[in-house]
Copies of this chain bind each other. A is one copy, B any other.
C-alpha cells in the first residue's frame, strides 16, 4: 500500500472524484496557475494540468465570490470544491457561508440542494493573528453545514470523498502543520503519512475513531491536538496512566455514542482543542456530556484550549497560547490523580 501525506491524499481524492463525476470542479485562489502554487499549501498541484482551467477555476481574491459562486453552481447541479487559503478568510465570506449556503435548502422547503465542499486550512504557524485561527467551532454552530476535521491522510481522503458525494454543504478543516509527511518537530516528530488503499473508499460522517484505548481518562481531540494528545498519552503510559484518545473526525454530525461509551469506561473527560477556549467546539462537547453523560462522570469535565487571546506572532508566545504536549500531560495526569 502506498503511503501519502494529507496534502497528497486530498489531491488524490479530488482527482479521483473529478474523474468519477464530471460535475466536480475546483474553485479558489492560486489553485491552477501554471508553474504556480497549487493553492496556498500545494494541495491542488498538477490538477489544472490534468483537468484544464475550466475545471480548476482560478479566481480573483474574492472570498465572497468564491463561496457564493460555489453555492450558485451547486444549486445548478454542479459539485464545487471551493477553498480559501487560510481559514481566517472564511470570515470574509461569512454571509455566503452562514446566510446563504447553510439556509438555502431549508428556506426552499427542501427543493434546492447545495452540494458543495469548502476546504479551509487551520492552525497557528507563527504568522500572527490573521493567519492562525481554528474556527471550527463557529461553523459547527451553523445548522446546514456538516463539518469534517481529518487528522490523518487516510481520513482526509475518505472524508473528502464523502463530502463531495453529500447532497449538502460540507466544510473540511485541514491543519497546516499536518499537511506534510511529518517527522517535523512541530507535529510531534511523527510520521504523518497513512497507508492508502488502492480501491475507492469513503468514510461515513459521524463515526469517531478510538485512536488509543485506555481506562483512566478520555481525551477528545481533533487535528493537531489529536496528535499531541496521542503523544501525551504515550508518555503517560510510561507512568502507568492509560488514556483513551478519541478522534471525532467530524464535528457535524458528532459521534456522541463513541464518546459517551468511553466516558462510561473512564469516568473522566478532557477535551483538547486549538481554538481559543470560550465558545470553541469543546464547549459544545462538554455541554453534551454534562447533560447526557452526567451520571457517567466522576470528575469535572476539563477543557484544554488556546487561551482567549488573538494568536500572537512570536513563537514563544504562540507556544504558550496553544496547548502543548506538556500541558496535556500535566492536566491529564492531574485529572487521573484526582488533583483537579
Contact = CB atoms under 8 A, between A and B. Distances in A.
Interface of A: 88-89, 91-92, 94-95, 97-99, 102-103, 106-107, 128-130, 137-138, 140-141, 143-144, 252, 275-276, 278-284, 286-287, 289-292, 294-295, 297, 299-303, 308-310, 312
Nearest to A143: B308
A290 B292 contact: no
A140 to B, nearest CB: 5
A283 B292 contact: no
Contacts of A301: 287, 290-291, 294
Given A287-B283, A289-B290, A310 B103 contact: yes
Contacts of A130: 99, 103, 107
A102 B310 contact: yes
B310 A106 contact: yes
Contacts of A308: 143
State the main secondary structure of chain A at its contact with B: helix
A310 B107 contact: yes
18 contacts: A88-B99, A91-B94, A91-B95, A92-B95, A94-B95, A103-B310, A107-B310, A141-B276, A141-B278, A143-B276, A143-B308, A283-B286, A286-B286, A287-B290, A287-B301, A289-B290, A290-B290, A290-B300
A209 to B, nearest CB: 21
Please provide the 9 A-B residue pairs with the shortest distance between their CB atoms, ordered closest to farther. A141-B279, A94-B94, A290-B290, A286-B287, A294-B300, A91-B94, A283-B287, A283-B283, A103-B310
Contacts of A279: 137-138, 140-141, 279, 281, 283-284
Contacts of A291: 286, 300-303
Contacts of A302: 291
B140 A106 contact: no
Contact of A143 (B99, B286, B310): B310
A303 B310 CA distance: 29
Given A283-B286, A291-B301, 13 more contacts: A91-B94, A106-B129, A107-B129, A138-B138, A140-B278, A143-B310, A278-B284, A279-B281, A286-B287, A287-B301, A287-B303, A290-B300, A292-B300
